């Protein structure tokens, strides 16, 4: 069961966004390009709030190449993240810090998962040891980034949208 007892040994709990915090749209691009197509996962939202109220540090680590592709502006991406925050605050939690790679894969940046660049940024901000950090994601690139960086990984997949 995913609850605060499960995370007792961790100080910093990191979440992937798509497929974990929200459903992955079945549209060909699989990108969420506006906040109206955001379908949140109540299980993970409640978990995040439970962890926050248990004094854990929580953040989101996500690839959003859709920005680099020009499919969505940073402004609109922030609106999507504001909507996630609002849902968490409504449940009694606090707003999240989002670590985002917006780059095109072809740029070969250091932060696009499966590279561990974003995880390194998080560590520099939170200063939590690697053995007290866990990353929860739904894809092999999440697992690879976590392993490469040397933190624990937990696979979690939220159900997909059946129709749009």
Closest distance to Zn ion from the beta carbon of 32 (Å): 18
| Of 9, 18, 76, 85, catalytic | 18
Largest separation between any pair of C-alpha atoms in the chain: 42
Query: Residue 19 binds which one of Zn ion, Mg ion, none, with CB within 5 to 8 A depending on kind?
Result: Mg ion
Closest distance to Mg ion from the beta carbon of 100 (Å): 13
Query: Residue 101 binds which one of Mg ion, Zn ion, none, with CB within 5 to 8 A depending on kind?
Result: Zn ion
Cβ within 8 Å of residue 117, ≥6 positions away: 101, 109, 110, 111
- 84 membership: H or E segment, kind and range: helix 74-90
Q: Looking at beta carbons only, is 18 or 23 nearer to Mg ion?
A: 18
Active site residue 35: no
Closest distance to Mg ion from the beta carbon of 49 (Å): 20
Q: Which tokens is 152 given? A: 């624990």
Residues near Mg ion, by CB under 5 A: 16, 18-19, 138-139
> From CA 127, how far away is CA 35, in angstroms rounded?
32
Q: Is 17 exposed, middle or buried (0-12, 13-18, 19+ CB in 10 A)?
A: buried
Active site residue 16: yes
Closest distance to Zn ion from the beta carbon of 20 (Å): 19
> From CA 155, how far away is CA 136, in angstroms rounded?
6
Q: Looking at beta carbons only, is 2 or 109 nearer to Zn ion?
A: 109
| Of 161, 143, 160, residue with least CA distance to 152 | 143
Q: Looking at beta carbons only, is 54 or 138 nearer to Mg ion?
A: 138
Residues near Zn ion, by CB under 5 A: 101, 103, 109, 111-112
**Would you please indicate which residues are annotated as catalytic (active-site) residues?**
16, 18
């Amino acid at each position: 069961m995913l609850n605060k007892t499960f995370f007792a040994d961790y100080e910093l709990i990191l979440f992937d966004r798509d497929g974990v915090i929200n459903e992955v749209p079945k549209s060909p691009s699989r990108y969420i390009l506006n906040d109206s197509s955001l379908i949140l996962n109540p299980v993970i939202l409640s978990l995040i709030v439970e962890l926050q109220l248990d004094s854990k540090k929580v953040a989101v680590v996500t690839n959003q190449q859709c920005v680099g592709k020009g499919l969505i502006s940073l402004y609109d991406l922030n609106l999507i993240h504001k909507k996630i925050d609002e849902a968490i605050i409504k449940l009694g939690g606090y707003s999240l810090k989002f670590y985002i790679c917006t780059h095109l894969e072809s740029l070969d940046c250091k932060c696009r998962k499966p590279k561990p660049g974003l995880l390194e940024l998080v560590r520099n901000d939170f200063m939590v040891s690697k053995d007290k950090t866990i990353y929860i994601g739904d894809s092999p690139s999440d697992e690879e980034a976590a392993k490469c960086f040397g933190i624990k990984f937990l696979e979690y997949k939220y159900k997909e949208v059946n129709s749009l």
